[in-house]
Amino acid sequence: LQLIRSKGCAAGLVFNPAAPLDVLEWVIDKVDLVLIMSVNPGFGGQSFIDSALRKTERARRLIDASGRDIRLEVDGGIKADNIRRVADAGADTFVAGSAIFGQKDYRAVIDAMRSALAA
């Protein structure tokens, strides 16, 4: 992380569903982004793992307590029907793949997600 940042790049950590957040406490001063995986990496179209909400809430508390401007992103199973819950858990950045690209009307899906976030 120090090397990445010394080269002028933003640095981030990714936490898979089974990975604990413990390491974040030790390096939070060296990260610009925390990514919580809400599916097991490997292929698209998987269902959102609800325990990612608790992990997102905990990551948000750690980030807020640090006083740093760190993005909190969630990737996997993000859809119009759950994006609001993910935002309420503390995420400010979302990755939606098959929820958008698996539909004929991308704009309609993105508009539905934006509406859910605005509600």
Of the candidates 76, 24, 26, 22, the one whose C-alpha atom is nearest the C-alpha of residue 53 is 76
Q: Which residues pair with 73 in a beta bridge?
A: 35, 93
- How confident is the model at residue 43, as a pLDDT? 75
**How many domains, in total, are found in the chain?**
1
- How confident is the model at residue 44, as a pLDDT? 76
Q: What is the pTM of this model?
A: 0.92
- How confident is the model at residue 46, as a pLDDT? 80
List the domain range (segments joined by +) for residue 63.
2-118
Q: What is the mean pLDDT of each run of 10 residues along the chain (119 residues)?
A: 95 96 96 96 84 97 97 95 97 93 92 94
Number of helices followed by number of strands (H, E) in the chain? 6, 4
CATH code where residue 16 lies: 3.20.20.70
